[in-house]
Amino acid sequence: MNMKEYIDQAEAALLHTYNRYQIVLDHGDGVYLYDMDGKKYLDFVGGIAVFALGYNNKEYNDALKDQIDKLIHTSNYYYNVPAIEAAKKLKKASGMDRVFFTNSGAESMEGAIKAARKYAYNKDGRTDHEIIAMNHSFHGRTMGALAVTGNPKYREAFEPLIGTVHFAELNDFDSVLKYVNDRTCAIILEPVQGEGGLQPATEEFLTALRKLCDEKDILLIFDEVQCGMGRTGYMYAWQRFGIKPDIMTSAKALGCGVPVGAFLMTERVAANSLTSGDHGTTYGGNPLATAAADKVLEIYERDHIVEHVRETAPYLEQKLKGLMDKYPCILEHRGIGFMQGLRFDRPVGPIINAALEKGLLLINAGADIIRFVPPLIVTRENIDDMVSILEECIEEL
């Protein structure tokens, strides 16, 4: 069958929850993807910040093939070596103390919320605890993660959601203080907002939150699903300022394509929150998923992936700012590392579609922002090629 026939079959069989681009991707290599017709695309989407090591990495592929031949799944009634090795590496990379492996970022947020509520319950026996989250945030589509997602359009059709959640403004500490009371159990935020428009939290804001949480025994939760795993030039974005959370979520690039996530916590929180029977997962932490995470973390450290981001991302920032200076339709540059965006004075859909036709994959973050979250192995030459195509599209449109 050709691409059109496959797309028609997909439209007849799959639930219509995605507005997909009209191509069927077939294989990848490095920072390039290829459709069924063999057309080549420079990928600045990375599976939405997932494929950090690029496509067809032989060492990664071989690790998965080897594990498939040994053991794929056993359940969490038993230990398995890949999960143990991955947990040790993840503890070292994150600076956290305890790891719970999940299947996705949203599931990781569900676990983080449960841990925070159980921690508060163990303190006072109450079940009316409240959470403070941020406007314009995005934490996932499941009911708990959705409850703390700061965009009403995602929540409204599914309410009522869990408990009481208040929404403050990122980088506005007074807006947080307005909601703090003796029932507040957690403050949740992304150190760099992703879907909400590539907005980083400031050091001043994070410092104030950490001090507040310490004073009132409120748990500080960082969602590092998109901004973690080296994307900002630090293994986890909070490490840029050294402001450590009590609970942290991770996913996306943790498995580089294999569905695996995690929520992590300090020893203090672990000792006073979830215990046997409080939380679980059938697939989470299975040998195949954690073999992927283990190999990803090994390659990151050995090949200095984070250092490459620090060296190369400023070049992307320079080029994007150059476009902003040149074209009045670009109003703002945002972001850090390989998590950057350009805000336009109009919807960016036509630009993204034009780029697709020219062999460049881009995505948006809101109607007026183009988001750049490429594989972390991109080079200056790849950045030059991307900017050249993007400029053509802006000129034409």
Express each pLDDT in 16-62 by its tens digit: 999 999 999 999 999 999 999 999 999 999 999 999 999 999 999 99
Per the structure block, which two tokens stand in for 189? Answer: 């935020």
Whether residue 104 has pLDDT greater than 90: yes
232 Cα distance to chain centroid: 11
Mean of pLDDT values over 129-154: 96
Name which of 2-11, 175-184, 222-231, 241-250 the model is least confident about: 2-11
- How far is residue 155 from each of residues 131, 143, 187, measured CA to CA in Å? 16, 9, 19
Confidence of residue 245 (pLDDT cuts 50, 70, 90): very high
Whether the predicted pLDDT of 318 surpasses 90: yes
Confidence band of 397 (pLDDT split at 50, 70, 90): confident
How many angstroms separate the CA atoms of 193 and 232, rounded? 12
Query: What is the rounded average pLDDT for all residues in the chain?
Result: 97
- DSSP-derived letter for residue 28 is E
- Write the pLDDT tens digit of every residue in 158-190: 999 998 999 999 999 999 999 999 999 999 999
pTM for this predicted structure: 0.96
The per-residue pLDDT for 61 is 98
pLDDT on residue 323:
98
Q: CB of 383 within 8 A of CB of 31?
A: no
Query: For 251-264, what is the mean pLDDT?
Result: 98
Per-residue model confidence (pLDDT) at position 351: 98
Q: Where are the alpha helices (DSSP H) in the chain?
A: 3-13, 46-49, 58-70, 81-94, 105-124, 143-147, 152-155, 173-177, 203-216, 267-271, 287-302, 305-326, 349-357, 380-396
Nearest one of 283, 232, 234 to 260, comparing CA atoms: 283
Using CB atoms within 10 Å of the CB of residue 147, give its burial: 0 to 12 exposed, 13 to 18 middle, 19+ buried. buried
Residue 291 confidence (pLDDT) above 90? yes
Contact 236, 33 (CB under 8 A): no
Q: Closest Cα partner for 168 from 126, 209, 217?
A: 209
Pick the closest to residue 151 from 175, 134, 170 (CA basis): 134
Q: What is the mean pLDDT of residues 128-154?
A: 96
Domains defined along the chain, listed by start: 3-56+304-396 (3.90.1150.10), 71-302 (3.40.640.10)
Run of H or E including 236: none
Output phi, psi for 330, to 5 deg. Answer: -95, 115
For the chain, state the CA radius of gyration: 21
pLDDT at 255: 97
Residues 6+ apart with CB under 8 A from 346: 329, 368
Report the side by side order of strands in the sheet with 40-43: 25-29, 32-35, 40-43, 360-361
pLDDT (mean) for 342-359 = 97
Query: What are the φ/ψ torsions at residue 282 (nearest 5 degrees)?
Result: -75, -50
Banded model confidence at residue 389, pLDDT cuts 50, 70, 90: very high
Of the candidates 357, 138, 102, the residue with the CA atom closest to the CA atom of residue 227: 138
Residue 284, pLDDT > 90, answer yes
Q: Is the peptide bond before 328 cis (omega within 30 degrees of 0)?
A: no
Q: How far apart are CA 9 and CA 179, in angstroms?
A: 49
State what percent of residues in the chain have pLDDT above 90. Answer: 97
3-state helix, strand, coil in the chain (%, to 5): 45, 20, 40
| pLDDT band (50, 70, 90) for residue 128 | very high
Q: What is the dihedral of CA 282, 285, 289, 290, to 10 degrees?
A: -170
| Paired tokens of 263 | 């929520």
